[in-house]
């Protein structure tokens, strides 16, 4: 068929009919997916509180999405569609609410909505600490907390070695240039029913407020993802409360913590004190422009 044929009324009608057929097939497949979810609930009892979250499984699905994507359709668009599907079907298995602090402004709500969609209930609270407190009172709710410099150390209640809230995810998960929703954030939940060893472990500690020290750490694989410096950025060696993320590399968290603190001290005189585990997540996908 030539371009002239396609631009004719009949050619346009044929193309629109093909689109309608694809749309109908997509809808049919979504209904079939929901029927399988019903079977999962019966087999795995994922209607129990907190039982439906599988961060490692979701990360695997996102990797598969990136690997098979092609064409001019923006990858972020496809990611958003899949996030809506995944989050909604997870909610159907075990209802949950996402808590977002209004103090973090619209950007944090945007990244939370992009990741969890528009079916999952949202609750806005005043501060990050309020969102974490709300999570601690449930077995299945989540909080989305913006990263960066913080007015208070909101991570103080987090503890991955106790029945307490902990970090389980990092947003955005797929890093592409000029994405419309790019505010860095983490997902916080109570302990998962079937946890999987994370690719990146997250620690709270005390350390330097100086951003040049943060850059030194980042260049060596230790990312300072959040910090609270009550006395300013150029105070003493341990003048700030920090949250650092470090690749696990198949090591246990205690080994990672000790190795990280030793390397910072021995190589640069940077002191990381009172290091404690507060969570972990699958390593985000970083795509470079081709």
Q: Is the dihedral of CA 271, 184, 143, 132 positive or negative?
A: positive
Quote the number of domains for the chain.
2
Kindly state whether residues 137 and 121 are assigned to the same domain: yes
pLDDT band, residue 93 (cuts 50/70/90): confident
**Residue 77 covered by a domain:** yes
Is 49 a residue whose pLDDT tops 60? no
pLDDT > 70 fraction of the chain, expressed in percent and rounded: 90
Task: Give 147-152 contacts, CB < 8 A, sequence gap 24+.
Answer: 147/184, 147/185, 147/186, 147/225, 147/226, 147/243, 148/184, 148/225, 148/226, 148/227, 149/226, 149/227, 149/228, 149/229, 150/226, 150/227, 150/228, 151/228, 152/127, 152/128, 152/228
Dig out the tokens for 166 from the structure.
């902990």
> Does 290 score more than 50 pLDDT?
no
pLDDT of residue 6: 54
The kind and range of the H/E element at 114 are helix 105-116
Q: Does 56 share its domain with 172?
A: yes
* Model confidence band, residue 278 (pLDDT cutoffs 50, 70, 90): very high
Q: What is the pTM of this model?
A: 0.90
Among the listed ranges 70-74, 81-85, 146-150, 233-237, which one has the minimum average pLDDT value? Answer: 233-237
Any idea what the CATH number is for the domain that residue 273 is in? Answer: 3.30.70
135-159 average pLDDT score: 94
Angle between helix axes 75-93 and 9-44 (nearest 10 degrees) is: 40
Query: Can you name the residues that pair with 241 across neighbouring β-strands?
Result: 206, 228
- Average pLDDT for 55-72: 93
Q: What residues does 273 pair with on adjacent strands?
A: 206
| Per-residue model confidence (pLDDT) at position 37 | 84
Question: In angstroms, rounded to a whole number, what is the distance separating the alpha carbons of residues 87 and 123?
Answer: 16
Nearest Cα to Cα of residue 201 among 148, 255, 152: 255
- Of 5-9, 194-198, 248-252, least confident by mean pLDDT is 5-9
The DSSP element (H or E) to which 205 belongs, if any, is: strand 200-207
Least confident segment among 19-23, 178-182, 233-237: 233-237
252 in the same domain as 166: no
Residue 15 placed within a domain: no
Query: Does residue 259 lie in a domain region?
Result: yes
Please check whether residues 171 and 207 belong to one and the same domain.
no
Q: Among 195, 215, 232, give the residue marking a domain's end.
A: 195
Q: Is residue 123 part of a domain?
A: yes
Claim to verify: residue 221 and residue 149 sit in the same structural domain: no
- Domain presence at residue 79: yes
Q: What is the pLDDT of residues 149-169, one digit of tens each?
A: 999 999 999 999 999 999 999
Mean pLDDT of 215-237: 84
Are 172 and 207 members of one domain? no
The answer to which of 4-13, 51-60, 64-73, 185-194 has the lowest mean pLDDT is 4-13
Residue 229 and residue 149 in contact, taking contact as beta carbons nearer than 8 Å: yes
Domain termination site, one of 146, 179, 195: 195
Q: What is the mean pLDDT of residues 72-83?
A: 93
Let me know whether 161 and 83 are in one domain: yes
**CB neighbours of 214 closer than 8 A, spacing ≥ 6?**
208, 224, 227
Question: What is the mean pLDDT of the segment spanning 12-25?
Answer: 94
pLDDT of amino acid 39: 84
The verdict on 260 and 131 lying in the same domain is no
Residue 115 clears pLDDT 80, i.e. is over it:
yes
Domain extent, residue 277, equals: 200-281
Residues 161 and 77 reside in one and the same domain: yes
Answer whether residue 21 is part of any domain. no
Boundary residue ending a domain (148, 172, 195): 195
């Amino acid at each position: 068929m030539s371009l002239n044929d396609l631009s004719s009324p009949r050619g346009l009608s044929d193309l629109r009919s093909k689109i309608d057929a694809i749309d109908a097939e997509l809808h049919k497949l979504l209904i079939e997916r929901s029927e399988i979810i019903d079977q999962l609930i019966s087999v795995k009892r994922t209607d129990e509180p907190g039982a439906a979250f599988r961060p490692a499984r979701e990360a695997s699905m996102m990797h598969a999405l990136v690997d098979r994507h092609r064409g001019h359709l923006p990858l972020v668009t496809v990611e958003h569609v899949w996030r809506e599907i995944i989050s909604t079907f997870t909610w159907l298995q075990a209802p949950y609410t996402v808590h977002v602090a209004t103090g973090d402004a619209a950007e944090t709500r945007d990244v939370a909505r992009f990741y969890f969609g528009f079916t999952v209930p949202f609750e806005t609270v005043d501060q990050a600490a309020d969102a974490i407190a709300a999570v601690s009172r449930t077995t299945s709710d989540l909080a989305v907390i913006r990263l960066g410099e913080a007015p208070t150390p909101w991570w103080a209640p987090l503890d991955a070695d106790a029945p307490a809230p902990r970090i389980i995810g990092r947003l955005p998960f797929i890093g592409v240039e000029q994405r419309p929703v790019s505010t860095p954030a983490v997902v916080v939940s109570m302990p998962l029913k079937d946890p999987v060893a994370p690719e990146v472990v997250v620690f709270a500690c005390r350390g330097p407020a100086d951003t040049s020290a943060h850059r030194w750490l980042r260049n060596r694989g230790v990312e300072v993802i959040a910090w609270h410096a009550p006395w300013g950025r150029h105070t003493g060696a341990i003048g700030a409360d920090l949250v650092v993320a470090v690749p696990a590399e198949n090591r246990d968290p205690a080994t990672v913590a000790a190795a990280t603190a030793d390397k910072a001290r021995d190589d640069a005189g940077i002191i990381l004190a009172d290091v404690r585990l507060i969570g972990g997540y699958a390593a985000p996908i970083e795509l470079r422009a081709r």
